[in-house]
Chains A and B, each alone.
Chain A
């Protein structure tokens, strides 16, 4: 019943195969079998948001999925966000505005907003806070994260200052 099944996962544009038990969580397979440890596990019950990845471009808690369920879908993780070593506007803004401290929750926040800012390029502060409420941060008090997201949105829109 816990025999491994062979699965094929499309992650960050690469195809990986892994033999894992059906019950193995996507978060665990990404981290342990694929070595993509940037996706963090903070609660394993879907509350903290640290393990958020993109599934077909949409944010999803990787602790609330089994890896076998992700077959046939495109998975995107934090490791793919910076391209050729250059930070995305969101990552850059988080760095400049001190939007992270211990950084454990950060990958989940980055993934959530890489997706959200594509859906809503001009969010209000209230909208940003509403979406951010799905990611717990124990260090920052959120203020600098919110400011960074708003300025990243601005940078991505290419607004005149």
Chain B
């Protein structure tokens, strides 16, 4: 079913984006730009405490405030909705359940207490101040250690302990490798809590049509169909009673996947009140209570020989999952553990992962949920080099998989193929001028200046096929669905179950359809995000867009082309369509090895198919309407190598990035301009997170990072220009050789910057093993403080 790789006409062009015009001129439609006549505004009362019992809620004064239409609490919502049950069939994962709004207890600062619906947002905020809540404040647990200490207060009173998951794995005999090793190198990595900060916060607008008993739910979300499924289930509606419509979305990064409690509340209230209700999350709510990400600690123990060759590897990972499970609690840590070995040859491997609840905002996936993987692995390599006095490049080379070793089965059973770690690594070493850097570094040190170079190789798991889900024991599927419709005029509409949040899907996906169908991409319009229009798909998460979505659309385009050519052959009185193809909308015929125009266009075929069906080949149905589903390989991988050069100022502790080179092999790029943009954006997000961002809770569980002045996302002055080396080794199992990408940049940046900082810190004899790598932290380290 695969096309030959190579000569693509539409795929691979750096076409500028379709979406830009509306976005540049202020005529795009984001959620809050949609006028919903008569809509009421919802807002939520949130807990000021990290952990407290709700003794009573008095809403009487609030209900009497001007403009207030309804005030509801958890008890009210429990009558309108069912709880979220998170109980996938996963071994050693504790099932959890949460009501739509808390009823008896709040579990983190910013947790929901009540909802008010009023005429406008100003009045609703006035009314929130009038709700009186009596709390019994409880002791919070604010990190993994506290959460798992004996007699720790329970975050979820229905559970036996705060330990949500504990899973172990072993392949080979890592304990034996330790005994036989030249050295066992232990390294620690502490990844701090972050949050996504889409510039557009969450929000939704629910319109209930009482006559039709139908809900139209406008929401910026990455997975419209799964969202609809959840919404229907929890409201007791059929999926045919809900239309989810996603408008333009101002960034998601994983924050806009789950059906959140606020959104369900708004939908339920619209139905209950029989009036449209809308909600726009404010920035403080977004930073405190939307979703957090990433807080995990890793310890690795690598058994090595005297050249730094890894004989065995052990990983311990602990994760603080926050107060609520919108996702299976083990899943993020599990992916880190599954793909840890990345581009390196490791046969004996064991992991131990533990995930605990705490009195902080719940955690979810954020662009590269497994972001710390490459930092942990390449940081372990650097630790080996440090401890054995070896060159970090040499240790990488000796352990890195060579081109002839693929396909390679990782110790966890994952199969890597069509990836190029060694060539990509060498390209970066060459581009950064590694040897020359070491000379400059020595020279600078002699003048009291501290340069550092960090390397990080990434193997990014991009597209998860349904076979991976089955293998990993996760409920769900990785397939995707598409339709392509050639209209009577020859215009082309197409749709897929993805939903973009800024990636620029409308252009590369049009290229995928165009390539499959044989027309110019400009003729193809991509429709996304309306569940009545798009086929049921799994949406946008991970890096599945190009492979799952682009693949489905390309194949559907090919299916359409084959059909068009069957009609063309019939019109041309040919026995078969074998010698025909469609190029730029024109039918071409191969005569004596030369393709020549057959004098027939897609418009002619379309006209016939719709308006003169009797002229079609006998038995052929009228119309040109095609659909299919596509299940990608169990897993596809992209790979990259990052090199980051920094200067460290011991006086202030500041890190300045002076150069950044990345080589990435993400297979065939549907649109290289979009791919570059994704590389830049992912690396920037990684650097910003590693250097500046931190969700900061004090010992009482108070969030001290709930404004954008306190949760510090990098500005244009902190992110460098990137030098990108593009490599495009096709994946042999995907439709045009695409692999997916857009998360690996985060993974590589986090590792490269940390390794660069530690390289610069070498003369001080200290190692930075936690992030963020802020000036005060690094300054403290070089001055003997932790």
Taking the nearest CB of chain A, how far is it from the CB of B686, in angstroms?
Answer: 10
Is B603 at the interface (CB under 8 A from chain A)? no
Q: Do B20 and A94 touch across chains, with their CB atoms under 8 A apart?
A: yes
Q: Do B26 and A37 touch across chains, with their CB atoms under 8 A apart?
A: yes
Q: Do B24 and A142 touch across chains, with their CB atoms under 8 A apart?
A: no
Contacts of B197 in A (CB 8 A): 136, 138
Is B251 at the interface (CB under 8 A from chain A)? yes
Interface residues of A in 17-72 (CB under 8 A from B): 21, 23-24, 28, 31, 35-45, 47-48, 50
Residue of B nearest to A85 (CB): B25
User: At the interface, is chain B mostly helix, strand, loop or mixed?
Assistant: loop
Interface residues of B in 1-27 (CB under 8 A from A): 16-17, 19-27
Contacts of A43 in B (CB 8 A): 283, 707-708
Residue of B nearest to A125 (CB): B721
Taking the nearest CB of chain A, how far is it from the CB of B66, in angstroms?
Answer: 8
Is B160 at the interface (CB under 8 A from chain A)? no
Q: Do B26 and A42 touch across chains, with their CB atoms under 8 A apart?
A: no
Residue of A nearest to B200 (CB): A104
Taking the nearest CB of chain B, how far is it from the CB of A49, in angstroms?
Answer: 9
Is B683 at the interface (CB under 8 A from chain A)? yes
A41 and B121 alpha carbons, distance in the complex (Å)? 14
Taking the nearest CB of chain B, how far is it from the CB of A136, in angstroms?
Answer: 6
Contacts of A110 in B (CB 8 A): 24
Choose from A45, A78, A137, A146 the contact partner of B707 (Cβ within 8 Å): A45
Contacts of B473 in A (CB 8 A): none
Interface residues of B in 652-682 (CB under 8 A from A): 673-674, 676-677, 680-682
Taking the nearest CB of chain A, how far is it from the CB of B468, in angstroms?
Answer: 28
Contacts of B66 in A (CB 8 A): 2
Is A100 at the interface (CB under 8 A from chain B)? yes
Interface residues of B in 165-213 (CB under 8 A from A): 196-201
* Leading 5 A-B pairs by shortest Cβ distance: A38-B26, A102-B502, A104-B250, A103-B23, A141-B684
Choose from A24, A31, A94, A105 the contact partner of B199 (Cβ within 8 Å): A105
Is B249 at the interface (CB under 8 A from chain A)? yes
Is B504 at the interface (CB under 8 A from chain A)? yes
Is B685 at the interface (CB under 8 A from chain A)? yes
Q: Do A100 and B24 touch across chains, with their CB atoms under 8 A apart?
A: yes
Q: Do A138 and B715 touch across chains, with their CB atoms under 8 A apart?
A: no
Q: Spot the interface stretch: A116-124, A126-134, A153-161.
A: A126-134
A107 and B30 alpha carbons, distance in the complex (Å)? 13
Contacts of A134 in B (CB 8 A): 715
Residue of B nearest to A25 (CB): B122
Is A81 at the interface (CB under 8 A from chain B)? yes
A98 and B27 alpha carbons, distance in the complex (Å)? 18
Choose from B19, B24, B683, B708 the contact partner of A45 (Cβ within 8 Å): B708
- New A-B pairs, 8, CB < 8 Å, besides A82-B24, A91-B24, A138-B681: A2-B66, A37-B26, A40-B199, A87-B24, A94-B24, A103-B24, A141-B722, A144-B677
Known: A45-B283, A102-B251. A136 touches B26 (CB 8 A): no
Choose from B122, B682, B713 the contact partner of A21 (Cβ within 8 Å): B122
Choose from B16, B19, B196 the contact partner of A103 (Cβ within 8 Å): B19
Contacts of B683 in A (CB 8 A): 141
Residue of A nearest to B500 (CB): A102
Known: A23-B122, A45-B708, A106-B24. A142 touches B684 (CB 8 A): yes
Choose from B20, B201, B282, B716 the contact partner of A145 (Cβ within 8 Å): B716
Is B297 at the interface (CB under 8 A from chain A)? no
Interface residues of B in 690-720 (CB under 8 A from A): 707-709, 713, 715-717, 719
Interface residues of A in 79-103 (CB under 8 A from B): 79, 81-82, 87, 91, 94-96, 98, 100-103
Taking the nearest CB of chain A, how far is it from the CB of B524, in angstroms?
Answer: 19
Contacts of A132 in B (CB 8 A): 715-716
Is B33 at the interface (CB under 8 A from chain A)? yes
Question: Can you list 27 A-B pairs, Cβ within 8 angstroms, ordered by A?
Answer: A28-B121, A31-B33, A38-B28, A43-B708, A45-B283, A47-B708, A48-B283, A50-B199, A78-B25, A79-B27, A87-B25, A91-B25, A94-B20, A98-B504, A98-B676, A102-B501, A103-B24, A103-B28, A128-B716, A129-B717, A133-B716, A133-B717, A137-B716, A138-B685, A139-B502, A140-B681, A144-B680
Is B253 at the interface (CB under 8 A from chain A)? yes
Residue of B nearest to A80 (CB): B26
Q: Do A95 and B24 touch across chains, with their CB atoms under 8 A apart?
A: yes
Residue of A nearest to B710 (CB): A47
Which one of B501, B504, B680 has the greatest number of beta carbons of chain A within 10 Å? B680
Q: Do B713 and A138 touch across chains, with their CB atoms under 8 A apart?
A: yes
Known: A95-B16, A132-B716. A45 touches B685 (CB 8 A): no
Is B604 at the interface (CB under 8 A from chain A)? no
A45 and B22 alpha carbons, distance in the complex (Å)? 26
Which one of B23, B24, B253, B708 has the greatest number of beta carbons of chain A within 10 Å? B24
Q: Do B200 and A143 touch across chains, with their CB atoms under 8 A apart?
A: no
Is B248 at the interface (CB under 8 A from chain A)? yes
Is B625 at the interface (CB under 8 A from chain A)? no
Q: Do B716 and A146 touch across chains, with their CB atoms under 8 A apart?
A: yes
Q: Do A40 and B30 touch across chains, with their CB atoms under 8 A apart?
A: yes
Contacts of B248 in A (CB 8 A): 102-103
Q: Do B26 and A79 touch across chains, with their CB atoms under 8 A apart?
A: yes
Q: Do B716 and A107 touch across chains, with their CB atoms under 8 A apart?
A: no
Q: Do B681 and A101 touch across chains, with their CB atoms under 8 A apart?
A: yes
Known: A50-B199, A101-B503. A77 touches B26 (CB 8 A): yes
Known: A142-B719, A146-B716. A103 touches B25 (CB 8 A): no
Q: Do A38 and B25 touch across chains, with their CB atoms under 8 A apart?
A: yes
Contacts of A142 in B (CB 8 A): 684, 715-716, 719
Known: A21-B122, A103-B24, A140-B681. A95 touches B17 (CB 8 A): yes
A96 and B17 alpha carbons, distance in the complex (Å)? 9
A107 and B249 alpha carbons, distance in the complex (Å)? 14
Interface residues of B in 420-465 (CB under 8 A from A): none
Contacts of A95 in B (CB 8 A): 16-17, 20-21, 24
Residue of A nearest to B252 (CB): A102
Q: Do A103 and B20 touch across chains, with their CB atoms under 8 A apart?
A: yes
Q: Do B26 and A102 touch across chains, with their CB atoms under 8 A apart?
A: no
A130 and B502 alpha carbons, distance in the complex (Å)? 25
A103 and B504 alpha carbons, distance in the complex (Å)? 10
Is B32 at the interface (CB under 8 A from chain A)? yes
Which one of A45, A79, A104 has the greatest number of beta carbons of chain B within 10 Å? A104
Q: Do B200 and A141 touch across chains, with their CB atoms under 8 A apart?
A: no
Known: A38-B25, A81-B25, A98-B676. A138 touches B251 (CB 8 A): yes
Q: Do B251 and A129 touch across chains, with their CB atoms under 8 A apart?
A: no
Residue of A nearest to B29 (CB): A37
Known: A132-B716, A141-B719, A144-B677. A102 touches B200 (CB 8 A): yes
Q: Do A42 and B23 touch across chains, with their CB atoms under 8 A apart?
A: no
A132 and B717 alpha carbons, distance in the complex (Å)? 8
A40 and B24 alpha carbons, distance in the complex (Å)? 12
Residue of B nearest to A103 (CB): B23
Choose from A2, A136, A143 the contact partner of B722 (Cβ within 8 Å): A143
Choose from A37, A136, A139, A143 the contact partner of B708 (Cβ within 8 Å): A136
Contacts of A48 in B (CB 8 A): 199, 283, 708
Known: A101-B681, A138-B198, A138-B199. A96 touches B27 (CB 8 A): no
Known: A45-B708, A103-B24. A143 touches B30 (CB 8 A): no
Taking the nearest CB of chain A, how far is it from the CB of B722, in angstroms?
Answer: 6
Residue of B nearest to A37 (CB): B33
Contacts of A87 in B (CB 8 A): 21, 24-25
Choose from A31, A96, A139 the contact partner of B251 (Cβ within 8 Å): A139
Residue of B nearest to A79 (CB): B26
Choose from A47, A100, A139 the contact partner of B20 (Cβ within 8 Å): A100
Q: Do B23 and A106 touch across chains, with their CB atoms under 8 A apart?
A: yes
A36 and B33 alpha carbons, distance in the complex (Å)? 9
Which one of A2, A91, A106, A107 has the greatest number of beta carbons of chain B within 10 Å? A106
Contacts of B122 in A (CB 8 A): 2, 21, 23-24
A40 and B26 alpha carbons, distance in the complex (Å)? 9
A104 and B26 alpha carbons, distance in the complex (Å)? 9
Choose from A40, A107, A130, A143 the contact partner of B717 (Cβ within 8 Å): A130
